[in-house]
Chains A and B, each alone.
Chain A
Amino acid sequence: MLKFIIRRLLQAIPTLLGISIVVFLMVHLAPGDPVLIMLGSQEQAITPERIEELREEWGFNDPLYVQYWRWLKNALRGDLGKSIYTGQDVFKTIVERIPATLLLTISSMIVAIAISLPVGIISAVRQYSAWDYIGMVGALLGVSMPAFWLALLSMYVFSLKLGWLPATGMGHFSQGLGTVIKHLILPSFTLGFGMAAMTTRLTRSSMLEVFRQDYIRTAKAKGLSEKVVIYRHALKNALIPIVTVIGTQFGSLLGGAVVTETIFAWPGMGRQAIASIQRRDLPMIQGNVLLMCLIFVLVNLIVDISYTWLDPRIRYD
């Protein structure tokens, strides 16, 4: 198992390297000049000479491969550089925001699982019943609703009209866990709902498939109660595709967090990523994408390891 983990972590290196090259090229080839954007809000004009001077200072005039190599050399030493906009250390800035993003994505995942597993199981067990239809219509709604719309709608209802929950921000742990949870409900529901919709449909179909297997018939024939058949025999076998999808969905949650964080003013990495893209703050964009990928790679590793628990036939040695 340890060998497997080490191998997988080593495999992540070329992935991250490839991603860093792609992101680097994308940012450089896209139009937009960080120097102009940074100077854009000046109250007085800046001479073209000063613009040129700043470009030279930040090395934007060097050939792309020179710029990339410079970035990579530093990154390998653990130095992701300084933001060209704020002058602050990129690694420090992003790491400060990781806990907020992880809190949001993990709780969204919990929301998604808490909705999708029971609804999917009920829909499968009571196929073609009213519950099944309600569940599937709900899933269809969840897939179709854009996150920003659901976010604003839920804010309108629960913050403005009912006054139950705060509309924006994260609250602070010093104000008590309750405050943070209150702030967390709307964004994690918004983000988790779309994922729940997809997972519900998958749970349903996966469960239906397992129900047709011989070992379920055997279990039923042995006279086991429905509960035991569903939870011990069917669900555990149906879980492998579900867990796989949940793992990959984590990536889209991180991506979706970009929108959700911006609307709910959640102080996470996603918002930072958006701001740095708008400013063409290259070191910050690179750092953000790299760390998001790293998180994604780690989550997938955890998913792979979880297979061994779900299906003892799977071995990684």
Chain B
Amino acid sequence: MRRATRLILIILATMLLLIGCGSGNQQPQPGGSTEPKEGGTLVLGDSWSVVTMDPAMYNDDGSWHVINNVFDALVAHNSKREIIPRLAESWENPDNNTWIFHLRKDARWQDGNEVFPEGEGPEVTAEDVKYSIERILDPATRSARVTLVNSVDKVEVIDKYTVKITTKEPDAFLLDNLASVYIVNKQIIETLGPEKFARNPIGSGPFKFEEMKPDDYVSLVRNEDYYIKPNLERIIIKPIPDPNALLIALESGDVDVVAQVPQKDVERIEADPNLEVMRQATAAYRYMAFHCENEPTKDPKFREAIALAIDMDAAVNAIFPPGMAERAYGPVCPNILGYDPSLSRYWEYNPEKALDILAELGYQDTDGDGYLDKDGKPLTLRIIAPQDTNRTKLSVIVATSLDELGIKTEVQNLEWGTLLSEVEKGNFDIHILGGYSGPNGMLFMFHSRNRGPNGNSSLYSNPEVDELLDRAIALVNPAEREPVWKQAQELIVQDKPHIPAYHEYFFFAYNKKVQDYYGSFQFVTLENNVWLSE
């Protein structure tokens, strides 16, 4: 017995000692040279798996992270989300419906594969651009990307390196959309067949697809013939769905870069001397949306009363550590054209005023039970929200605030699929949702033609807003578009189909050996070429 106890104690002590030593091993690395080094493998830990690698078919982040490195698009977004040249060296739009792109003359299709033997990769030409866009538009392709190029009327080849895109009506967002329209080659797709192409893609991007083991890893290898020679020799993308496991993999050095660090972990990761944390340029817009066609939330007055009852500043401060999110006053996110913090003037916290408005609308506590009622019926609101931590907290704060005011609430935090179905069926008074509100975000969140669970989920409709949004799409020049866009936003904020909650930032974290990296899934652009210092 004594021997056994001693043995166990010794084992435990050794383990503790080793754990202690382990944490002591993490020393800051010596400062690397600033001269870019070639070679090395970068391991990207991703939250998502790859679904397809066919650029016309993908509709998910995991696939995009691979496609964006294997294929080239005409243009790209830089770290500030500005448009920069990629396959197109330059472009012009002589009128609002015409876009002419001048392609680089040194871009080639990847070789050393079953379609193009080594050294025989042909040039990327205007024909390829025409084929790629027409392939997406062809109903037979059943492309998931069709909405990106819906406005395109025709694509014409002017010469080998010049392509002209004509739109049906002016489309201010075409250029932004084209950053996600990847150029493919007809011969490659016809030789491989669409199914094989989706699993063994050949593109003209900075990295060649090497190998994939589903749900385990995808490996990409440097395309030596790319017009900017990539510094990295290889990229391995590993899907790790559990966020805790993903961070452990980063901290233990199994992976070099991860996207989507949970906000609660940002501080801990920042404290690690080997790691660097970077905030994504754009934020995601989160909101509470009212059912704009059902009683009682269809009345803008009623919506105003609810907005007055919620102390959103306090809510955002309670949900997030400082710097992780910004209070939202309108649907347009920081860094996106039309962002307007002055809209804060439309939002205040004033429960007394809320009660006055509700009383005007006939809601009063007539039976003395502490809750408002009208025509003998208590006022009850059904709130549905997703199950992620932040929005669960928001739903609880909202429900508590409304309860304090005397409004009964029924809160349900639903699994994603169930939530979307409930929104579609209209089984809610208030739903909490959110998403990436990009340059054209307002168009699909508030235009009446986009009413439905995947767009204008509050079923909001205001002809004046529709008209402004339509006008804005036609204004290709951002300087002309901005005031119209802002005007639409202001009208929306006055109508309050949404109570904007916050713009949530996401964080990339990466090992300090990763250099010239600005927190994206693109490792070689005209502005950066990622390399490893060790």
Contacts from A to B (Cβ < 8 Å): 30-34, 36-48, 51, 85-88, 93, 96-97, 100, 129-131, 134, 151-152, 155-157, 159-163, 166-170, 172, 262-265, 267-268, 271-272, 275, 278-280
* Docked-complex contact B420 and A160, CB < 8 angstroms: no
Q: Does B213 contact A (CB under 8 A)?
A: yes
- Residue from A33, A85, A97, A129 having most chain B Cβ neighbours under 10 A: A33
Given the interface contacts A46-B147, A160-B248, A275-B49, does A172 sit within 8 Å of B213 by beta carbon? Answer: yes
Given the interface contacts A45-B454, A157-B19, A161-B19, does A37 sit within 8 Å of B417 by beta carbon? Answer: yes
Select which of B148, B421, B450 is within 8 A of A32 by beta carbon. B421
- Residue from B15, B147, B245 having most chain A Cβ neighbours under 10 A: B245
Cβ distance B346 to chain A, nearest Cβ, rounded Å: 25
State in angstroms the CA–CA spacing of A280 and B420 once bound together.
12
Given the interface contacts A86-B51, A87-B57, does A279 sit within 8 Å of B238 by beta carbon? Answer: no
* Docked-complex contact A36 and B417, CB < 8 angstroms: yes
Given the interface contacts A42-B144, A87-B57, does A97 sit within 8 Å of B215 by beta carbon? Answer: yes
Q: Which residues of A contact B197 (CB under 8 A)?
A: none
State in angstroms the CA–CA spacing of A152 and B244 once bound together.
7
Segment of B94-102, B107-115, B249-257, B310-318 in the binding face: B249-257
* Docked-complex contact B245 and A263, CB < 8 angstroms: yes
Cβ distance A171 to chain B, nearest Cβ, rounded Å: 9
* Docked-complex contact A42 and B417, CB < 8 angstroms: no
A-B complex: 10 closest residue pairs judged by Cβ atoms: A45-B455, A32-B417, A45-B444, A45-B450, A267-B215, A267-B216, A161-B22, A44-B147, A265-B240, A31-B418
Contact with A along B102-141 (1 / 0, CB 8 A): 0000000000000000000000000000000000000000
* Docked-complex contact B216 and A170, CB < 8 angstroms: yes
Q: Which residues of B contact A31 (CB under 8 A)?
A: 417-418, 421-422
Q: Does B29 contact A (CB under 8 A)?
A: no
Cβ distance A268 to chain B, nearest Cβ, rounded Å: 8
Given the interface contacts A86-B51, A168-B240, does A93 sit within 8 Å of B214 by beta carbon? Answer: yes
State in angstroms the CA–CA spacing of A170 and B450 once bound together.
44
Given the interface contacts A87-B52, A168-B245, does A36 sit within 8 Å of B421 by beta carbon? Answer: yes
Select which of B4, B51, B251, B444 is within 8 A of A131 by beta carbon. B4
* Docked-complex contact A43 and B180, CB < 8 angstroms: yes
Q: Which residue of B lies closest to A38 (CB)?
A: B59
* Docked-complex contact B60 and A41, CB < 8 angstroms: yes
Q: Which residue of B lies closest to A174 (CB)?
A: B211
Q: Which residues of A contact B1 (CB under 8 A)?
A: 129-130
* Docked-complex contact A40 and B416, CB < 8 angstroms: yes
User: Would you list which residues of chain B between 191 and 220 have a CB under 8 Å from chain A?
Assistant: 195, 198, 213-217
* Docked-complex contact B214 and A96, CB < 8 angstroms: yes
User: Would you list which residues of chain B between 230 and 254 have a CB under 8 Å from chain A?
Assistant: 238-242, 244-246, 248-249, 251-254
Q: Is the interface of B mostly helix, strand, loop or mixed?
A: mixed
Select which of B245, B252, B417 is within 8 A of A278 by beta carbon. B417
Select which of B45, B249, B436, B452 is within 8 A of A43 by beta carbon. B436
Given the interface contacts A85-B51, A87-B57, A167-B248, does A130 sit within 8 Å of B417 by beta carbon? Answer: no
Q: Which residue of A lies closest to B25 (CB)?
A: A163
Q: Which residues of B contact A97 (CB under 8 A)?
A: 214-215
Select which of B241, B251, B417, B447 is within 8 A of A160 by beta carbon. B251
* Docked-complex contact A156 and B452, CB < 8 angstroms: no
Q: Give 5 new A-B contacts, CB below 8 A, not counting A37-B420, A43-B147, A87-B52.
A: A36-B453, A45-B147, A160-B22, A168-B245, A279-B417
User: Would you list which residues of chain B between 168 and 207 have a CB under 8 Å from chain A?
Assistant: 180, 195, 198
Q: Which residues of B contact A151 (CB under 8 A)?
A: 245
User: Would you list which residues of chain B between 9 and 58 have a CB under 8 Å from chain A?
Assistant: 15, 18-19, 22-23, 25, 45, 49, 51-52, 57
Interface size on B, residues (CB 8 A): 66
Select which of B4, B148, B245 is within 8 A of A44 by beta carbon. B148
Q: Which residue of B lies closest to A155 (CB)?
A: B248
State in angstroms the CA–CA spacing of A189 and B36 once bound together.
42
* Docked-complex contact A265 and B418, CB < 8 angstroms: no
State in angstroms the CA–CA spacing of A163 and B253 once bound together.
9
Q: Does B438 contact A (CB under 8 A)?
A: yes
State in angstroms the CA–CA spacing of A39 and B452 once bound together.
11
* Docked-complex contact B241 and A271, CB < 8 angstroms: yes
Cβ distance B155 to chain A, nearest Cβ, rounded Å: 19
* Docked-complex contact B241 and A262, CB < 8 angstroms: yes
Cβ distance B412 to chain A, nearest Cβ, rounded Å: 11
User: Would you list which residues of chain B between 441 and 481 have a CB under 8 Å from chain A?
Assistant: 443-444, 447, 449-456
Q: Does B413 contact A (CB under 8 A)?
A: no
State in angstroms the CA–CA spacing of A155 and B244 once bound together.
10
State in angstroms the CA–CA spacing of A40 and B147 once bound together.
13
Q: Which residues of A contact B443 (CB under 8 A)?
A: 44-45
Q: Which residues of B contact A43 (CB under 8 A)?
A: 147-148, 180, 436, 438
* Docked-complex contact B19 and A36, CB < 8 angstroms: no
State in angstroms the CA–CA spacing of A89 and B25 once bound together.
47
State in angstroms the CA–CA spacing of A43 and B437 once bound together.
9
Q: Which residue of A lies closest to B59 (CB)?
A: A41
State in angstroms the CA–CA spacing of A43 and B422 once bound together.
21
* Docked-complex contact A168 and B5, CB < 8 angstroms: no
State in angstroms the CA–CA spacing of A152 and B443 once bound together.
43
State in angstroms the CA–CA spacing of A122 and B5 once bound together.
16
* Docked-complex contact A168 and B51, CB < 8 angstroms: no
- Residue from A87, A131, A156 having most chain B Cβ neighbours under 10 A: A87
Q: Which residue of A lies closest to B219 (CB)?
A: A172
* Docked-complex contact B449 and A47, CB < 8 angstroms: yes
* Docked-complex contact A163 and B180, CB < 8 angstroms: no
User: Would you list which residues of chain B between 315 and 338 have a CB under 8 Å from chain A?
Assistant: none
Select which of A30, A38, A265 is within 8 A of B241 by beta carbon. A265
State in angstroms the CA–CA spacing of A131 and B454 once bound together.
61
* Docked-complex contact B248 and A45, CB < 8 angstroms: no
Q: Which residues of A contact B249 (CB under 8 A)?
A: 159, 167-168
Cβ distance A79 to chain B, nearest Cβ, rounded Å: 15
State in angstroms the CA–CA spacing of A152 and B248 once bound together.
9
Q: Which residues of B contact A262 (CB under 8 A)?
A: 241-242
Q: Which residue of B lies closest to A263 (CB)?
A: B242
Q: Does B404 contact A (CB under 8 A)?
A: no
Q: Which residues of A contact B420 (CB under 8 A)?
A: 32-33, 36-37, 40
- Residue from A34, A163, A265, A267 having most chain B Cβ neighbours under 10 A: A265
Cβ distance A158 to chain B, nearest Cβ, rounded Å: 9
Q: Which residue of A lies closest to B15 (CB)?
A: A157
- Residue from A130, A160, A170, A172 having most chain B Cβ neighbours under 10 A: A160
* Docked-complex contact B417 and A33, CB < 8 angstroms: yes
Cβ distance B275 to chain A, nearest Cβ, rounded Å: 12
State in angstroms the CA–CA spacing of A162 and B198 once bound together.
40
State in angstroms the CA–CA spacing of A47 and B447 once bound together.
12
Select which of B195, B213, B245, B254 is within 8 A of A267 by beta carbon. B213
User: Can you name 12 A-B residue pairings with CB atoms under 8 Å?
Assistant: A36-B420, A44-B440, A44-B443, A45-B450, A86-B52, A87-B198, A97-B215, A152-B248, A155-B248, A157-B15, A167-B249, A262-B242
Q: Which residues of A contact B449 (CB under 8 A)?
A: 47
Q: Which residues of B contact A129 (CB under 8 A)?
A: 1
Select which of B8, B57, B252, B421 is within 8 A of A159 by beta carbon. B252
State in angstroms the CA–CA spacing of A134 and B454 once bound together.
56
Q: Does B403 contact A (CB under 8 A)?
A: no
* Docked-complex contact A166 and B19, CB < 8 angstroms: no
User: Would you list which residues of chain B between 140 and 181 have a CB under 8 Å from chain A?
Assistant: 144, 147-148, 150, 180
Q: Does B424 contact A (CB under 8 A)?
A: yes
* Docked-complex contact A278 and B416, CB < 8 angstroms: yes
